[in-house]
């Protein structure tokens, strides 16, 4: 196991799974510029490292992430002009994964252990799969401060939960618990708090055991079809699937031939 603790983040790799832990529990893992830069480095490393296939993102202490650190984050925007705003919109978003580095081919599991607020909610939403502790809470309290999500929070809420839920969370600022998050498709699983990391690791290990070209192609296809016309969605899906089916077909044919040679001639199905 390889573990590095730098810039308020613990980064560990073991058995083809990377675990990334936001580690500023004294401020509920709020993201300051140092943590932000470190996360960008980590996502790039994870993307490029051939020894890991899946990542788990979680937080230390009682929070997943309470958003941007107000004491350090907002100073950089106090004197921003329109040109800076435009440049930022085309660059890497807070926490790296929210915008700019979001097309990593490998899957990322969010293990939401507690409060996910503001930018913390955006970071959770940027994960491909979200598992919540039964103690997790989710919220977008930004309107009370005079602004709203700008790093994928609105976009991904609409995509994951629909317009009505996105408007409710964004405009009310009222937090929801894990069970409500499950009902709205914000998360796909809720587990007992003490089982969260075991559940996340079991899922990560299951994904890592599959054919990774198929896993990565499936992730890319899901992201590519969002917002497309049905005909375009179907074409994108077919192009993606049948491009890798050539390799899969050869593997299945070879496996069937081997079984026939060894006297085990049962039929294999792919579904």
**What are the C-alpha distances in Å from 41 to residues 35, 47, 53, 92, 240?**
10, 10, 17, 12, 29
For residue 116, being part of any structural domain is answered with yes
Say whether both 187 and 245 belong to one domain.
Answer: no
Last residue of a domain, one of 208, 225, 246: 208
Rounded Cα distance, 97 and 93, in Å:
7
Say whether both 141 and 245 belong to one domain.
Answer: no
Report the range of poorest mean pLDDT among 45-54, 55-64, 66-75, 234-243: 66-75
Both structure tokens of 267:
């039929």
Say whether both 13 and 59 belong to one domain.
Answer: yes
Domain containing 136 equals 2-208
Say whether both 132 and 167 belong to one domain.
Answer: yes
pLDDT, residue 259, reads 79
Q: Does the predicted model carry a pTM greater than 0.75?
A: yes
Q: Which of 98, 102, 112 is nearest to 28 (CA)?
A: 112
Asked if pLDDT for residue 74 goes beyond 70, the answer is no
Report the range of poorest mean pLDDT among 59-63, 109-113, 140-144, 254-258: 254-258
Q: Which of 33, 29, 31, 55 is nearest to 44 (CA)?
A: 55
State the total domains in the chain: 2
Q: Which of 92, 176, 114, 186 is nearest to 140 (CA)?
A: 176
Say whether both 201 and 238 belong to one domain.
Answer: no
Which residue is it, tokens 């932000």? Answer: 36
Say whether both 204 and 176 belong to one domain.
Answer: yes
Burial 166-182 (b: 16+ CB within 10 A, else e): bebbbeebebbebeebb
Say whether both 130 and 73 belong to one domain.
Answer: yes
Say whether both 35 and 19 belong to one domain.
Answer: yes
**What are the C-alpha distances in Å from 118 to residues 7, 70, 94, 122?**
21, 11, 11, 7
Say whether both 227 and 163 belong to one domain.
Answer: no
* Residues paired with residue 58 on neighbouring β-strands, in sequence order: 21
| CATH code for the domain of 92 | 3.90.226.10
Percent of the chain with pLDDT over 70: 88
């Amino acid at each position: 196991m390889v573990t590095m603790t730098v810039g308020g983040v613990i980064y560990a790799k073991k058995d083809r799974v990377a675990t990334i832990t936001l580690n500023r529990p004294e401020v509920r893992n709020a993201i300051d510029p140092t943590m932000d830069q470190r996360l960008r480095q980590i996502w790039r490393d994870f993307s490029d490292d051939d020894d890991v296939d899946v990542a788990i993102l979680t937080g230390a202490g009682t929070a997943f992430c309470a958003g941007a650190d107000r004491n350090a984050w907002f100073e950089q925007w106090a004197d921003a002009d329109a040109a800076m705003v435009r440049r930022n919109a085309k660059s890497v978003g807070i926490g790296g994964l929210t915008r700019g580095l979001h097309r990593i081919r490998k899957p990322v599991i969010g293990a939401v252990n507690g409060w996910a607020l503001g930018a913390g909610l955006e970071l959770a939403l940027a994960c491909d799969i979200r598992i919540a502790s039964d103690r997790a809470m989710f919220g977008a309290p930004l309107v009370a401060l005079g602004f709203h999500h700008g790093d994928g929070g609105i976009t991904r809420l609409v995509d994951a939960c629909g317009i009505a839920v996105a408007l409710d969370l964004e405009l009310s600022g009222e937090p929801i618990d894990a069970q409500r998050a499950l009902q709205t498709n914000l998360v796909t699983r809720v587990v007992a708090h003490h089982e969260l990391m075991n559940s996340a690791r079991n899922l990560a290990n299951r994904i890592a055991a599959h054919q990774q070209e198929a896993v990565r192609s499936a992730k890319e296809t899901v992201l590519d079809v969002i917002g497309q016309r049905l005909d375009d969605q179907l074409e994108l899906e077919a192009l993606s699937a049948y491009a890798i089916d050539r390799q899969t077909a050869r593997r299945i044919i070879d496996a069937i031939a081997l079984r026939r040679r060894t006297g085990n001639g049962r039929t294999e199905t792919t579904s």
